[in-house]
Amino acid sequence: MHIERIADTYYLVGSVRDGWHVEYFIQPSGRYSLTVSSDLFWTNNANALARAVFGRASLRWPDRSSPGEYPEPPTWDDPVVNHPKI
């Protein structure tokens, strides 16, 4: 993990052994950004990755929810249920 302070702004970068990466940028105003990425399923092909994720999504999104409530994301073991309509 690497933490850098530039004036009152903090920048944190970290990685774990299984390929996950986290970047966290925090400003004194309260603004922040958080990026989480993984090497595990990287294909160097954004379209193939999008099809793999979209194909396993149930496409049932809530109109609204309480804080902390969200639909269960698909897993890589889920079957492909959405096929492209060409």
Task: Say what the pLDDT of residue 37 is.
Answer: 85
**40 vs 61 pLDDT, higher one:** 61
Return all residues near 11 (Cβ < 8 A) that are at least 6 apart: 3, 4, 5, 23, 24, 25, 26
Domains of the chain, residue spans: 1-40, 41-86
Task: Say what the pLDDT of residue 77 is.
Answer: 87
Average pLDDT over residues 79-86: 76
**pLDDT tens track for 16-57:** 877 788 999 999 898 999 998 887 555 667 777 778 878 888
Q: How confident is the model at residue 86 (pLDDT cuts 50, 70, 90)?
A: low
Task: Say what the pLDDT of residue 33 is.
Answer: 93
